[in-house]
Amino acid sequence: MTMLSLLLLMIALPLYAGGRLTYYCSTDIPWCELMKKEFEKRTGIRVSMTRASSGETLTKIRAEKSNPKGDVWWGGTGDPH
């Protein structure tokens, strides 16, 4: 879990533009919430999380193409990593 938190941190910090990080998550809800909690704890950056299926999230990202709202999309399962 520590490695995943650090990976998310490395990906997200350059995207962070102050205030809040927007995080789309397409894996199990407990995993999404754990990553959000750990990221906030380690960085002090507030995270706005949206949980949706991969298909729903991809549709959302495509719809936001000209005005992106999300900073990070986490998909797949969390347990085998």
Q: For position 48, which CATH number holds?
A: 3.40.190.10
* Number of compact structural domains in the chain: 1
Mean of pLDDT over the chain:
82
pLDDT at residue 63 above 70? yes
Q: Which domain holds residue 64?
A: 2-8+20-74
* Residue 15 counted as domain residue: no
Half-sphere exposure of 23 (CA within 13 A, CB side): 27
pTM for the model:
0.70
pLDDT at residue 14 above 70? no
The reported pLDDT for the residue numbered 18 is: 64
* Residue 29 counted as domain residue: yes
Q: In percent, how much of the chain has pLDDT > 70?
A: 70
